[in-house]
Chain A
Amino acid sequence: MVHQPSGMTRRQFIATAALTSGAAAFGAFVAPALGQQPKLVYWAYQFLRSSDEARVNFAQEWAAKNKVEMQITLVPWKEFMTKITAAIQAQATPDIVESGGVELRALGQLLDVTDVYEKLEKEHGGWLGSSSLYMREPDGHVHHILYGLAGAVVIARKDLLAQAGFQKPPETWEEVLTQAKKAQQIPRVYGIGQPVSNQTDSNIWEIVMRGYGARLADEQGKKVVLGDYKREVWAFLDYFMEVWNAGVLPPGVTTWDNTMNNSTYQSGKAVFVWNAITISLWLQENNPDLLPKTAHYAFPAGPKGRVWDVGYASRSILKYTKYPDICKQFLLDSMDVKKMDQELSVSQWAPVLKSYLPFEVWNRTDYMKGLIELATKGNPEGYPDVFNDAWREQNTHTTISRLLQRLVVDKWDRDKAFAETLEVLNKIYGKYA
């Protein structure tokens, strides 16, 4: 049976929504006689339509089954921090959120859910890959529950690469450049569709740099040590300048936002991009001709090893909630095997629990297989640096990408640019020390 990317048709979704809201409304009408129903506010993560629908659907069914009144708001990931900021200041917070787990944890806004974490670990045979590293804090407590791992994979035009004589995936960053140079067909198709801008997709370059052996801060994540790795950084910069001067990057990458590499690949104008499989899911629905020509590879390695940052998606409970136990139950039930089987097949996340490994969906397509690789071979974000507030702030600041822009946009010399980078890192890390 050919599986459609979306779990159910739009009409079914609307009908179900109408039904469950009708049921909820009826329940609310009857409730005063039975006693007030608990009311929960749930901010769901909006990123991919089919996945969003699946989660919202589940929430509505769960609410009806558990006699809870649930207000569900879909919040795009970009707007989440703005909204939650205002909500916290106004003391009008939601109960359950699906974004900002680490940020909110650092601000002390979350409910302790160590019991949920341990229950899940026991019931599902353990957590996969680096999942637990995102959740377990040094003192053993847990404040957010992962429900998916997400990250970039290498998305490549295997047809163009085969034409250029390359059958195997590139193992190193140097090989990527070699293959890109040969396979591209300027001006129609460029070798590497990767931004060098102030948007966070540009942080791939920081991963490359770490693959060359440099690190930003010490083992504790407190003191900036990048200055001690000048040799490795220079080797990385040599590689970058090679890429830049080879002309494999399309014009405009210095102001690309996070959608441009998607649209560039999807319109057939790039050989290699680094992105989550949202591209592949888009192709499936909108340009199925391009999908069979698309390969999904693991991240290549630098001279000092492979670094493959993997991000996370998690659910957390705001500590202000009036119904902590009900919320925890929601978190638990959301990880149910049957529910996740259906949901993961329409989302773009890699599994976090061992009990999800046997799902049939992982073998269905090339890109789903890639997700298993991501879950098992990837490392926590920032590795070997510590994934803390300071690292995240420099990451949103796209520090390394800005270093590169100083070289190619402002034409600074390396020492001057590097000095500024160190200054910025010291200022940022200094705030959190």
Chain B
Amino acid sequence: MRDTLGSKVVTYGLLAVFVIMVAVPLFWMVTTAIKTNKELYEDFSYFPQRPTLENFVRVIVREKLLTNIRNSFSVSMITTLITVIVSSLAAYSIVRYRYPGREWIGRIILFKYLLPSAMLFVPLYVIVTALGLGNTQQGLILTYLTFTIPFCTWMLMGYFRGMPVELEEQAMVDGCTKIGAMLRILLPLSAPGLVASAIFSFTLAWNEFLLALVITMDQSTMTVPIKLSMMVVGDQYIWGQLMAGAVLASIPVGILYFIGQRFVVQGLAAGAVKS
């Protein structure tokens, strides 16, 4: 597709605007992380006068944030894995099979989100503890599935519906089972959708606050958001350490996004070959 000079200017111009828009608060976060505590309370400055890594050191050594990052990672990854699998099956079931009630299930699956966490977390916690999963990763994962599965199922339903059935039918005529058609034809084609759901699921799990607050009790299970909030001690924000912790917490997911981009492109290439 040939781009005119005008459209190129518009594109790059908008890109610059968006980059600046995203960068400014991030810049603020990073510069705060490398300022000394004293400097943060002195007169305002755009850049740190005496940059230091002491906040990072404190957060890793004193607060042991790496443990929490590992906890968050493990919980988020497992949640995502289970979510994508369960949601794909459910979405395929609703879209490609026929049985009574499937239309309704597809509709009401979203109603879950009508209730805020502030309301649901108490009974959820009751169930988790009753199952003996208090202060465990499994308990946390179980509760996270309740808000990742409905969304991912719904999203995959949309994607699967948009995929032409002819390909699966062709495969079945060639001797494939229905499930085989799903695994071999539909899922690879829906790669962008699957990756997108995985990314959403991971991010939702990574950033979740309320349920983690209630279920995790100590360093062995505590996830990053809770740990960061604990750095608000009493009526003082330990700004430097908080931002250092935030930077560290954002790196793993940032890397994941960066890699995830490649995946989407690959999925697209496969799709282009198909047509």
Interface residues of A, Cβ cutoff 8 Å to B:
10, 46-49, 71, 73-74, 76-79, 82-83, 85-86, 89-92, 201, 258-259, 262-263, 266-268, 275-276, 278, 282, 286-287
Are B213 and A263 touching (Cβ within 8 A)? no
Contacts of B126 in A (CB 8 A): 86, 89-90
Collect the chain A residues with CB atoms within 8 Å of residue B43's CB. 267
Q: Is the CB of A90 within 8 A of B41?
A: no
Which one of B121, B123, B217 has the highest number of Cβ atoms from chain A below 10 Å of its Cβ?
B217
CA distance A286 to B233 in the complex (A): 15
Separation of A282 and B62 alpha carbons in the complex (Å):
18
Q: How far is the CB of A92 from chain B (nearest CB, A)?
A: 5
Within 8 A of A (CB), among B223-242: 229-230, 232-237
Contact with A along B201-238 (1 / 0, CB 8 A): 00000000010011001100000000001101111110
In the complex, given contacts A46-B230, A259-B235, what are 5 additional A-B residue pairs having Cβ atoms less than 8 angstroms apart? A71-B218, A76-B233, A78-B232, A86-B214, A278-B235
- Among A73, A78, A90, A262, the residue within 8 A (CB) of B218 is A73
Q: Does B146 reach chain A (CB closer than 8 Å)? A: no
**Interface status of B166 (Cβ within 8 A of chain A):** no
**Residue B38 CB within 8 A of the other chain:** yes
Max chain B C-beta neighbours (<10 A), residue from A76, A91, A258, A287: A76
A262 to B238 Cα, complex, angstroms:
12
B233 with A259: CB separation less than 8 A: no
Q: A73-B217, A89-B125 are in contact. Are A267 and B42 (CB under 8 A)?
A: yes
Note all chain B residues with C-beta closer than 8 A to A82: 210, 213-214
- The number of A-B residue pairs with CB atoms under 8 Å apart is 74
Q: Cβ of A278 and Cβ of B234 under 8 Å apart?
A: yes
In the complex, chain B residues whose CB is within 8 Å of the CB of A89? 122-123, 125-126
- Cα(A266)–Cα(B39), bound, Å: 11
Does B261 touch A at the CB level, under 8 Å?
no
B125/A263 in contact, CB under 8 A:
no
Write the chain B residue with the least CB distance to A285. B37
B residues in contact with A262, CB < 8 Å: 235-236
Interface contact B129-A90, CB-CB below 8 Å = yes
Contact in complex: B125, A267 (CB < 8 Å)? no
A282 and B229 form a contact (CB under 8 A):
no
What residues on A are CB-neighbors of B229 within 8 Å? 76, 79
Provide the residues of chain A in CB contact with B233, threshold 8 Å: 46-49, 76
List 7 interface pairs A-B (beta carbons < 8 Å), by A numbering: A46-B233, A83-B213, A83-B214, A86-B122, A86-B126, A92-B134, A286-B37
Closest CB-CB distance, A88 to chain B, in whole Å?
10
Nearest residue (CB) in A for B237 is A259
Known: A10-B62, A278-B235, A278-B236. A287 touches B38 (CB 8 A): yes
CB distance from A21 to the nearest CB of B (A): 12
Which chain B residues lie closer than 8 Å to A47 at the CB level? 233-234
Using CB atoms, name the residue of chain B closest to A94.
B217
Q: Which residues of chain A are within 8 angstroms of B129 by Cβ–Cβ distance?
A: 90-92
Determine if A90 and B237 form an interchain contact, defined as CB atoms under 8 angstroms apart.
Answer: no
Q: Is the CB of B214 within 8 A of A263?
A: no
Chain B residue nearest to A267 in the complex (CB): B41
**Could you say which residues of chain B place their CB within 8 Å of the CB of A282?**
236
